[in-house]
Amino acid sequence: MISTRYPSSAHCTEDTTRVLNESLALLLIFSLIYSSPLQEELIVHRQIQEIPDQFIHTGKANPNTPLTFRIKLASHNLTGLEKRLYETSDPTNQQYGIHLTKEQVDDHVRPHPNVTTAFNRWMSQHGITPTAITKAGHELTIQVSVAQANKIFNASFLEYNDTSSDRTIIRTTQYSVPRTVAEHVRYVYPTTQFSNPEIRQYRKKKTPASTGVIFSNTTTRRDPCDPNQVSIGCLMNLYSVPNNIETPKSPGKVGILSLGGAIQGKAVAAFMKASRTDIPLSGLQLEIMSLQGGDNLQTPTFSPIDNGESNLDAEMVLGLTPSSPTVGISDTAGDGFGSSFCILAEQDEPPEVLSVSYVGTEILWDRDQLMSICDCIMQLAVRGTTVVAGSGDDGVASGGRNCTLFNVGATDLSSGTETGAFFSGGGFSFIYPTPQYQIGAVQSYLEQLGSLEAGHYNVTGRGVPDISAIGEGVWFFNNGTGGIIDGTSISTPVVAAIISGLNLQRRANGKSSLGFVNPLIYAHPEVLNDITQGTTILELHIYM
């Protein structure tokens, strides 16, 4: 008889367990070899509830459309950098005027190594290698398709039409990042930012004036000030600007940010021939620098929103301080001034004065974007650059309230003395707090104001403008003809020119540039005229 023996239940269980364990081990090995790393948990980083009215959703973005994202990581010692800024700009501090080097700034803004490691690990999970665009490594770019971006950021990127310019942009109303890097990612662009592409240029064109010589007595600077046609001679008289300032061996440059079109040499030359007959054109130093593919078109466009802004700024700067080496910074192909300041902060030798006649209204801008710009302006300031920017031409609805800007309003001469121009921007920020150097001036102003307009402004906000200059009825040259113009686009380069002149004199005496000039100005109000007369408008359309 043939008998059959079956394994005991104990042996069966043991063999089965062994086989299962071996199988699981093999599966684990194969998963490690052939699978991508485990995806980290994502959390919402930024979201907006509604988009500005001027943007209309037109559909889904093509999944194959390429996108370039600029990502800023948290700096490990930004607080320390701000502390150094105030030390070097406080005239009572022993560190006054001792500006930091690029390397010293990088030491402050460099991310902690653990932050960089965590960020790179996230990117590697998607097969992406970021490219650092700053020496300190705190700003990086990645290039991906819309489909990849949707996956990386757990977002839905859509197309929107900007009805104000009839151009299409790709944005999302929400995006996410891993929990491990959420607190270390300062800024991702373009994501939820809708306001950046629209940079308003604040100028009001009037009837063209004569193209003839309007500054015939430069040597003695006794030009009468005609409030309807303010000349360079008038401005020199008002602000005690010398005829010419001797150029030191190593003069710093004045930078003019141009977003609409490059400075045109012929327009500047025509202006100088009419306004500064004492200055040979051969002695002027003017160059054009391109940022992000900015143009250098020298053909007149006959459009006031293109080259006119740039020409005006250059004419005011060179007309008042012809010995200042001037560089037109053409960023016509970029994203407005969202990245301009950060690119300039990376330069080995940035301008000692930067004139910016463009304004972004605070309430329409992405907060992260504003703070990113603020960081970059601080990096410029602590290295000795004075960033001069207009307060805008929409009264209290204007923007330009960054803490480290030297903010310029406008005055006019229609009453015979300087009074506040009706359009000049001013007010208090809802994002930036009152800086330490301004506390005394703000408190004094609020005490005089009393209960007037109480509740309609932020009593703890940064106040603007810091200073004002003539901004109404000024003669300039553009597109082959002279004209009269109004706006803080005039007063801004006027102040920039004056600061450049002071820097030239300081350089000649072995001193550093003025740099972040705000604390010095607020510490010595006696050197300025206090403009207390004038009425400001409110342009309600800015909120529509």
Active-site annotation, residues: 309, 313, 489
Tokens 């003669």 identify what position? 475
**Strand, helix or coil at 17?**
helix
CB 157 within 8 A of CB 145: no
SS3 378: helix
Q: Which two tokens stand for residue 367?
A: 């907060």
Amino acid letter at 115?
V
CA dihedral sign, ordered 390, 395, 400, 403: positive
d(CA 92, CA 167): 51
CA nearest to 210, candidates 21, 534, 477, 414: 477
Residues 6+ apart with CB under 8 A from 225: 231, 234, 237, 238, 413
Structure tokens at 488: 């803080």
The amino acid at residue 30 is F
Determine the distance from the C-alpha atom of residue 182 to the mean position of all C-alpha atoms in its chain, rounded to a whole number: 24
User: In the beta sheet, which residues pair with residue 461?
Assistant: 433
Contact criterion met (CB below 8 Å) for 440 and 473: no
Phi then psi for residue 338, to 5 deg, are -60, -35
Helices (H), 91-160: 102-109, 113-124, 146-152
Q: For strands 406-412 and 386-390, give the pairing.
A: parallel
For residue 27, give the DSSP letter. H
